[in-house]
Amino acid sequence: MAGNYSDPYNKEGQSASFLKLGGSILKNRKGELNFDYLENDFLPFLAPILINYFGLVVIINGGGTVVRDLQKSMSGASNDDKDQAPKQMMLGESEEIRQVVENFLPGVANKVPSSPDELRELIRDKEIKAIVTSWIQKGQSTDGTTERAVREHIATLPTSIIPSTVGLSVVIGSDIGEIHDKNPDKFPDTRRIRSSSLDLLIKQGTMSDLISKREPGMNVPMTPESVAGFRYLEDQGYRPRIWYGLGTKLDSIRTFMLGEFPRSGTVLHADTKETGLYDEREAVSQKNS
């Protein structure tokens, strides 16, 4: 599955990379930000790709286990209150991440957007090449922030552009290696998915685009409101490529962002006609990829 990041459209800065990193990747077991990983692994390895291939980079600080545990502990609280509780913590963490990112990427926004309007303002500023953000709107997760950022970027493009030519790279870094065809906690015969599409996964029940099913702290590969948002963009002709996998698999993330097929993780693309599964006999080699 080759990318199109070298075509003339993207030379004008219309390609963009969106990296949502789960809290399990950005934080250590104590819930503290993992600066060592950011400064010595993630950013040094990926910065050359981000600088040379993408006109805009948006890094989204995900909640992870710390936030999910907090929300689950709020018995009887409304969904809005559960959404709001970790907001300031996550935005404060994002400011610390932003200061680190400034050392590796040019044109980093000098603030962390805390609302959809602020995110829109920064994305429309042509001087800004990189943004760090997190949870910005009630009723949405940081997956929703990721989809919102993609949508706001698309809104800045010329109306004459051919949607399918826009290079949109979405990385969802998790502590889980791939999306599975069934819940691995309940089904021992679950299979790891190598490639698929949102449509296919919705039809087989692996994902949902029913926004009414979204709950604060739900532990799913992609939350329903983000799936619904990406499906809407696909209906408009855009073809974001989505990679879901271990946020520490930097070789696979780099390969994916270059428009090639990585050795680990799950790649989602609207033009995929059938779900591809990993050969479980390759499990050992996948762990080392």
What mean pLDDT comes out for the span 2-30? Answer: 67
Q: Tell whether the model's pLDDT for residue 276 goes beyond 80.
A: yes
Question: Side chain identity at 33, as an amino acid letter?
Answer: L
Q: pLDDT for 56-65, tens place per residue?
A: 999 999 866 6
Instruction: Report domain extents, the chain.
Output: 8-287
Residue 140 pLDDT level (bands cut at 50, 70, 90): confident
Task: Indicate the pLDDT class of residue 135, thresholds 50, 70 and 90.
Answer: confident
pLDDT, the chain, mean: 85
Secondary structure (3-state) at 100: helix
Pick the residue with more confidence: 50 or 75? 50
Helix (H, G, I), strand (E, B) or coil at 12: coil
Contacts 24+ apart (CB under 8 A), 119-124: 119/145, 119/148, 119/149, 119/152, 120/152, 120/155, 123/56, 123/58, 123/149, 123/152, 123/153, 123/156, 124/152, 124/156
Region 253-266: what's the mean pLDDT?
A: 93
Structure-model confidence comparison of residues 82 and 10, the more confident one? 82
Residue 217: alpha-carbon gap to chain centroid: 16
The pLDDT score that the predictor gives to residue 281 is 59
Q: What's the confidence (pLDDT) of residue 282? A: 56
Mean per-residue pLDDT, 244-248: 93
CB atoms within 10 A of CB 62: 25
Average pLDDT over residues 141-163: 92
What gap in Å lies between CA 240 and CA 279, rounded to an integer? Answer: 26
> Under a CB-based contact definition with an 8 Å cutoff, are residues 249 and 287 in contact?
no
Query: Residue 224 and residue 93: Cα distance in Å, rounded?
Result: 25
pLDDT of residue 9: 36
As a whole number, mean pLDDT of residues 119-145 equals 91
Q: In the prediction, which pLDDT does 138 show?
A: 77
Specify whether the CB–CB gap between 174 and 22 falls below 8 A: yes
Give CA–CA dist 256/252, Å, rounded.
6
Sequence-distant (6+) residues with CB within 8 A of 140 are 83, 148, 214, 223, 225, 226
pLDDT at 65: 65
Task: Look up the CATH architecture of domain 8-287.
Answer: 3-Layer(aba) Sandwich (3.40)
Q: Residues 223, 228, 229, CA angle at the centre, nearest 5°? A: 100
pLDDT bracket for residue 285 (50, 70, 90): very low
Average pLDDT over residues 251-276: 94
Six-digit token string for 203 = 């039809």
pLDDT band at 88 (very low <50, low <70, confident <90, very high): confident
For residue 72, the SS3 value is helix
Q: What is the DSSP secondary structure assignment for residue 107, as one 8-state letter?
A: S
**218-244 mean pLDDT:** 91
Q: Residue 8 pLDDT more than 60? A: no
Tell me: pLDDT of 190 over 80. yes
pLDDT at residue 66 is higher than 80: no
Q: Check pLDDT > 90 for residue 270.
A: yes
DSSP 78-90: -HHHHHHTTHHHH
Res 87: pLDDT: 72
- The mean per-residue pLDDT over the stretch 239-262 comes to 94
pLDDT bracket for residue 202 (50, 70, 90): very high
Residue 216: pLDDT above 60? no
Alpha-carbon 151 to chain mean position: 13
